[in-house]
Amino acid sequence: MVVLFPWGSILMRVAPRRWAMPVHAAMQMVALSMFIVAATLGISLVREVRIPGQSGGLMSNPNFNYHPIIGLVVLGLLLIQPALGMLHHLGYKKTGGRQVWSYLHLFNGRAAITLGIANGGLGLWMAGEGKGLKTAYVVVAVVMWTLWMAAAVWGEWRRWKWIRSTGTTDDKPRGGE
Ligand code: HEM
Ligand code: HEM
């Protein structure tokens, strides 16, 4: 969540044009596969973990159940990303510009990955990790998220400049795919 998904998104903006989409798609699919495996482990942990001194499982405690719930929401949101990315790509090849799928892919991807990064911090808190690890996580998360947002804003600005200077919605040569 903190390294692979943001890095795969940054590459969409900074990799050489020809490679950007394939590298982005491949990297996000590797990240998604790892996330599916990790979420499966999370689901088995939910069944095993007991809170000392309390009866009932993790899900019956409102102080602890939101990490797995948010994690499953993030999983659901990210599972539709490959289809949205594919629909965007096919439409882009036809029209040379963005369509509704493109905006859904961009918005859903940015929101879900950000939520997932925050959820990692909640996981460390829930597992009772020490201050050192939690601080390190927050530092890495803030640095990665800032780099990613800088790349995203730069990409949008480059695209906007191209569209303005050419008077076309066709963003092929700059900043789109
Ligand atoms: C956005 C996705 C997720 C991230 C980034 C994430 C991250 C983490 C992290 C960093 C920990 C702390 C591990 C430790 O220090 O021992 C943790 C613990 C845990 N996670 Fe997740 N997780 C995610 C999704 C899920 C999901 C989908 C579930 C289950 C449905 C889940 C269930 C758990 C459980 C039960 C623990 C507690 C383990 C313990 O207290 O020993 N997580 N998670
Ligand atoms: C779980 C899988 C995926 C995730 C999480 C994901 C996430 C993202 C994110 C966050 C962005 C925006 C980058 C930014 O912030 O500026 C993006 C852009 C893009 N993605 Fe994906 N993506 C995934 C899979 C795919 C796939 C499979 C394809 C192609 C078939 C694809 C094609 C694209 C394209 C072409 C863009 C740029 C769209 C534009 O600028 O108009 N993505 N993706």
Residue with tokens 């789109």: 176
Protein residues with CB under 6 Å of any ligand 1 atom? 1, 39, 42-43, 45-46, 49, 58, 67-68, 71-72, 74-75, 116, 119-120, 123-124, 126-127, 129
Distances (CA, A) of 159 to 86, 155, 162, 164, 173: 20, 6, 5, 9, 9
CB neighbourhood size of 76 (10 A): 10
Tokens of 136: 């390190």
Specify the ligand 1 atom closest to the Cα of 121. 10
Whether residue 14 contacts residue 150, with contact meaning beta carbons closer than 8 Å, is answered with no
What are the pLDDT tens digits along the chain (177 aa)? 999 999 999 999 999 988 999 999 999 999 999 999 999 999 999 988 888 888 778 888 888 899 999 999 999 999 999 999 999 999 998 888 899 999 999 999 999 999 999 999 999 999 999 999 999 999 999 999 999 999 999 999 998 888 888 877 665 544 555
The CA 108 to ligand 1 mean position distance, Å, reads: 21
The closest of 19, 122, 5 to 66, measured between CA atoms, is 122
Instruction: Indicate whether 19 belongs to any domain.
Output: yes
The CA 50 to ligand 2 mean position distance, Å, reads: 38
Give first-to-last CA distance, the chain, whole Å.
23
Give the chain's domain count.
Answer: 1
Instruction: Indicate whether 71 belongs to any domain.
Output: yes
Instruction: Indicate whether 109 belongs to any domain.
Output: yes
> How far is the C-alpha of 170 from the C-alpha of 96, rounded, in Å?
5
Tokens of 103: 């905006």
Domain that holds residue 116: 4-166
Instruction: Indicate whether 171 belongs to any domain.
Output: no
pLDDT for residue 96: 83
